[in-house]
Amino acid sequence: MDTTDTLRFALSDCINDAPIGPSRVPLHLLGQFQREVEEFLKGSNKDVDPSQVFVSIEEGSLAIVAGGLLAATGLWADMGHLQNPSALGLLDPKRANVVERWQADARKNPHRNYVLADMDGKLTIRVDTRSDFHNQVEAIWMPVEKFLQGIVMDMGGTTKPNIHLKLADGKTLTIIATQQLIAGEEKNRLYRPALLRVSAEESLKTGELRNPTLLAFDASRPHWDEAEFNKLVQKGTEAWAGVPADWLEELRGRQG
């Protein structure tokens, strides 16, 4: 195989105190690893056709060496992204999912590790019990205040009072509330539309809200009231009716 277009996928583990390899590996683990290698190569955009990839099995661990990958630009870009453990969010989603599964398996089994490397040794990625591949952006949650509109499906609770608000997309959001806010409501809110002002944490990546907490019922958003504006203009006009139009010029002239 040409070393400039080749990737080596290696799985190391111990079963019954003996290392696995091509001559000794549980059948289910062999099948699982083969499927994960294929999934990683294809990615979401299928920029690698597994039917056109030739592989060899190497000794030392369970290692699959895949060639003919020179044109798979997305694959090589993702290999570059994996050099930064916090950049998992930049990867093709299916490749990121494979890495996350490998990391979860390695953390459950201290003998398990995975190594991805090109044959020139320029790119090497190791996934084991100590690795920490994650999505930096996905991990960031920002405090926000939001207006949420929907239908109140349930409200109350003895020890953990909350409100179940059904949103326009059909999802129901559980909003933390206080007994004082709920008890202070004179209206029957159940099964009626409501506009709530809440505080929450929002994911920078997905926009998902967590820990939404009720701040107020029927919180009105600022809006333009033309009639009210015209009233203010009328009041101002009447108050300044006796002031000459050139009062500012006269004032400046006296100061000069």
- What phi and psi, each to the nearest 5 degrees, are found at residue 102? -60, -40
* Contact in structure between 120 and 4 (CB atoms under 8 Å): yes
Alpha helices in the chain (DSSP H): 27-42, 73-81, 93-108, 179-183, 226-239, 247-255
- Spatial neighbors of 115 by CB under 8 A, at least 6 apart, are 8, 9, 10, 12, 124, 125, 126, 127
- 93-108 helix and 27-42 helix, angle to the nearest 10 degrees: 150
- What pLDDT does residue 250 have? 56
| Dihedral angle computed from the Cα positions of residues 53, 54, 56 and 62, in that order, rounded to the nearest 10 degrees | 20
pTM equals 0.55
- What pLDDT does residue 40 have? 95
CA distance 166 to 152: 6
- What pLDDT does residue 66 have? 92
The DSSP line for 40-69 is: HHHTTTT-S-GGG--EEEETTTEEEEE---
- What pLDDT does residue 246 have? 60
pLDDT values of the chain reduced to their tens digit, one per residue, 256 residues: 454 689 999 999 998 888 888 888 889 999 999 999 999 999 998 888 888 888 888 876 899 999 989 889 999 999 999 999 988 888 999 999 999 999 999 999 989 999 999 988 889 999 999 999 988 766 677 889 999 999 999 999 888 899 999 999 999 999 999 999 998 887 888 999 999 999 999 887 778 899 999 999 875 545 556 676 677 667 766 766 665 666 555 555 555 5
Residue closest to 11 by CA, chosen among 45, 62, 53: 62
Residue closest to 152 by CA, chosen among 181, 123, 129: 181
